[in-house]
Amino acid sequence: MTASSWIAAWSGLVPPGAAVLDLAAGKGRHTSFFAGRGHPVTAVDRDVSALAPSDTVEVIAADLEDGSPWPLADRRFGAIVVTNYLHRPLFPALFAALQPGGILLYETFMEGNERFGKPSRPDFLLKDGELLDLVRGRFSVTAYEARMISQPKMAMVQRIAARLL
């Protein structure tokens, strides 16, 4: 399991030792990546069976879409990583969980992906420019892409690396 090329490319924005939230962590590829770089990581997912807690990795089982309260209360992180996941109602809590100057690394599918397979429902696809619209006025954008990729599979994605103002 290797880190997304986008996350790896922009991981240097995360200050050394900063606490990282890996939201919808899945099998933990970014949890492992950041823990291996010396960051304390909190990994949150509905299914945590593939995630292993350690001295530097905290694992939290939480269904982020069932209407339960945000599982991280008033905790703040130096960086938040989200890949291949979109649940729009989480954006306010997600942004509030970043400490001032914190880094957002976000990468997920966008409109046009339906021609390559799943996800194909509009609920799971960013609209054109949606990530930029969400951070406008609150973040300084270091990098942004909206494009077709071929690795690890053909897909239409939006990606952003941004610092909370």
User: Average pLDDT, stretch 131-142?
Assistant: 97
Q: Take residue 86 and report the two structure tokens written for it.
A: 């979109």
C-alpha dihedral, 88 to 93 to 95 to 97, nearest 10°: -150
The confidence score (pLDDT) of residue 105 equals 98
CATH of the domain at 98: 3.40.50.150
The confidence score (pLDDT) of residue 55 equals 96
Q: Residues 24-82: pLDDT tens digits?
A: 999 999 999 999 999 999 999 999 999 999 999 999 999 999 999 999 999 999 999 99
Q: Give CA–CA dist 99/78, Å, rounded.
A: 6
* Contact of 45 with 25, CB cutoff 8 Å: yes
Strand partners of residue 159: 107, 145
Residue 10 has pLDDT above 90, yes or no: yes
Q: Give CA–CA dist 123/85, Å, rounded.
A: 11
Give the count of domains, the chain: 1
Strands (DSSP E) found in 30-136: 41-45, 57-61, 77-83, 98-109
Q: Take residue 69 and report the two structure tokens written for it.
A: 């309260």
The confidence score (pLDDT) of residue 1 equals 77
More confident residue, 73 or 97: 97
DSSP type of residue 108: E
Task: Find the domain containing 113 and state its range.
Answer: 5-9+18-164
The confidence score (pLDDT) of residue 122 equals 93
The confidence score (pLDDT) of residue 118 equals 94
